[in-house]
Structure formats: structure tokens, C-alpha cells
Amino acid sequence: MKRGILFLVALVLLVASFFLLDEKKENQTEVGVWDIDIDEIEYQPPKSSWDGEDGSGFFPSTVLLKKEKGISETGIFFTIQSQDLETGDSLVFEGNHNVENIFRDLSVLKVKGVEPIEQNGSLSASLLLNESSPMILLKSSGRILKKLVLGKKKTSDSTRIVREGNEILIIPGHILDRFSKGIGEFRQKQLVNLKDESILETIWEEEGKTLRLDNHPYKEQSVKKHFWRRLSGKVVVLEPHLGDAWNNQIIGQRADLYPDDLQGAGFAVAKNLTSVPAEASLKLRLSGGDWITLRYYPKTDINSVSYRPAVRILNGKFSEPPFYIREDSFLRIKENAGNLDKAEQKKIPVIQNSVPKSVPPTSPKK
């Protein structure tokens, strides 16, 4: 019996030792090469003479990813800037998690391998490291800190050969392959990206009418809840299901189509569609201090699908180019606004010999 127990213990320890050894080997496969503070990443596309097998997949014009200050009240605000290939206009949208991730990955770069380039040594042409290669510049306050020349992609281990100065780096492919997946991969499609914030106030304007509501979020047994009121006209405390439906509908909005998408009809068309007065607008005040304005323009059909051209503005400082949301998404917002405009006072049940629960405090004055 004791021998059996000892055998099992020894077997468990042996398996654990193999696991730890494999984990250690895995951790050794990546080497840190630098830790730098950057606020701008500039991507330059490959020239037509570059012979990379995946060259056609890279975005064909320059892209700038930036950390911006002074736009959002919550701190750093990521943007992506590109040039519209049809009109030549500069397009700047809010950047999404992919922008944040690539800043993190390239600021503290870990690679699969590093090889020095010998002085006056020539590089094999098979590495595809030449003047026609795509490049990425890492900058701080306008100063170039690192220049990455992208070379051959190794499909065997999903890495890419890159030159930086006098070194050859073997970089995990997923870091740089983001530039070959289309510009939309970097844009923030969620129109109201709350993170840890809450919506505190909304102002819906349509056909000369204004619907204003405020919200006092609170926690009950560690569960976040909302306390919505209608302030326009008669002040009404809304039923929870009405307030929750409004809140969820707002944060569920997203950019469903960009004008420079393959089926997007182009920015020249989008600019024309948004040159007329908006049919409706929604202003939002967030708990972090930001104001977001969404403007909705007359309906249009693109490839037999109904859309609403829309524009998003942050704090009156940052206005995105037009994009499209699906018509059914707009109609749900409009329907919810109509329900809230007609809503009656929330019915509070009266319980004998009990003390009414306190109402959450009103929002602070702006």
C-alpha cells in the first residue's frame, strides 16, 4: 500500500517537473529587446517592386497611430489617421483595442530571436529587406526612435524577419500582420465605449422636440443598477425596464459600414449625404466627464441595405468622418425615445409600517 502511494507521488512529481521544464523553455522563446516610450507609430506601405508574397495584403497608404492628449477628459485617447484613396482627404477616427495593443507590443518588444548584422556585411535578397519593404517608424514627440524594415514572413513558425539598425529581429507575426487586415481593424466601431464609465445624461433631439433624461447609477449587493429620470416636461422617475432598455440601446450602437469599405460607396458620397441638416441627434454625458454627440442623417440605401449616415463628435474637439449605422438600429433608438417621452411616473408600492428606501442623490451641477 505504502509503495503504491509512493509510486503515485513520484509519478505526479515527475509529470510536474516535465511541465515546469516545458514552461521554462516556452518562456525562453521570447527575448526582450527594448522598453521605450512612444506616442506615435507610422506605417509606410511596401512599394510595388517589393517581392513579398503577402505584399498585396498590406494597406496601400500611410497610416498614423497616435496617443492624443487633451481630447478626452479621461486621459490618453488613441487615434488612427489614414488617407482616403478616392478623395485624398485625411481621415481620423478613434482607435480601438488593436491600436492600444500594438502600442503595448512595440513599446516593450519581445522577439523570437536577434542576430547582429556584420559591419559591411550584405544581406541575402531572400530576406526581402530592401528599400521597397514596408516600414514602421516608432516616434516620441516627433522624433524617430526605431525604424523597422519589414521583410519575409516565415509561415513555418508564424514570424516575420525585420531589420532595425544593425540587427535582424524575428518578430511574432501577429504584431505586424495587423497592418495587412484592413484599416477597419484599427477603428473603434462601438460608438459609446464606456469601459468603467456610466451614462449620466442624454439629450435626444428630433423634429424640434427635445427629450432629456438623467441617470444616477448605484450598486445594490455589488450589482450595478441605474436610476433614470425624464427631465423634459414633467419630471418622471422611469420604470427600471425602460431605463435599462434605453441604456442598452445606446451602448449597443456601432459603425456598421465605413465609406471606404469594399461595399461602402466611398467618402465622396458619404460627405454629400451628411451635407444636409441632421434628422436627429443624441448627446451623452459620461461619468468620466466626456460629452459625446451623435448626429443621424436621412436614410440611404447601399447595395439594397438601408443605412443612416452618422457623425460622432467628442467634447466638441474631435469630429470623426461620416460612417453608416443600420436603419433598424436607428429605428430602435427612435422607438425607445418615443416610449420614454410618453412614460408615466414609476409606481412605487406602499408597504405598511415600513420606511421607504432612499432615492439615489441627484447628479451634481455641471
- pLDDT given for residue 222 in this prediction: 87
Q: Please, which residues have CB within 8 angstroms of residue 9's CB and are 6 or more apart in sequence?
A: none
Q: Over 90: is that where the pLDDT of 276 sits? A: yes
Condensed to tens digits (0 to 9), the pLDDT of residues 80-98 reads 999 998 999 999 999 999 9
Q: Which residue bears the cell 453608416?
A: 324
| CA neighbours closer than 13 Å in the CB half-sphere of residue 260 | 22
The pLDDT score that the predictor gives to residue 292 is 98
Q: Does the pLDDT value for residue 361 go beyond 70? A: no
Q: How confident is the model at residue 195, as a pLDDT?
A: 85
CA distance 4 to 10: 10
Closest CA to 213 of 192, 234, 182, 197: 234
- Residue 295, pLDDT score: 98
pTM reported for the whole predicted model: 0.84
**What percent helix, strand, coil does the chain show, rounded to 5?**
25, 35, 40
* 157-164: average pLDDT: 92
Non-local CB neighbours of 164 within 8 Å, separated by 6+ positions: 146, 147, 148, 149
Residues in CB range of 267: below 8 A, 6 or more apart: 84, 86, 87, 89, 91, 259, 260, 321, 322
Comparing 121 with 21, the larger pLDDT belongs to 121
Q: Which of 77, 139, 111 is nearest to 312 (CA)?
A: 77
Q: Cα dist. 60→53, 83, 162, 188, 230 in Å?
A: 15, 10, 19, 21, 49
Closest CA to 263 of 303, 310, 306: 303
Confidence of residue 149 (pLDDT cuts 50, 70, 90): very high
Q: 48-80: per-residue pLDDT in tens? A: 899 887 777 888 899 999 999 999 999 999 999
Above 50 in pLDDT, residue 12? no
Q: What is the pLDDT of residues 247-263, one digit of tens each?
A: 999 999 999 999 999 89
* pLDDT band (50, 70, 90) for residue 347: low
Rounded to an integer, the average pLDDT of 279-296 is: 98
DSSP 225-284: E--EEE-SSS-EEPPHHHHHHHHHHHHT-B--B-TTSTTS--HHHHHHHTSSPPSEEEEE
Q: pLDDT, tens digit, for every residue of 182-195? A: 888 899 999 999 98
pLDDT tens digits, 194-238 = 988 999 999 999 999 999 999 999 999 889 999 999 999 889 999
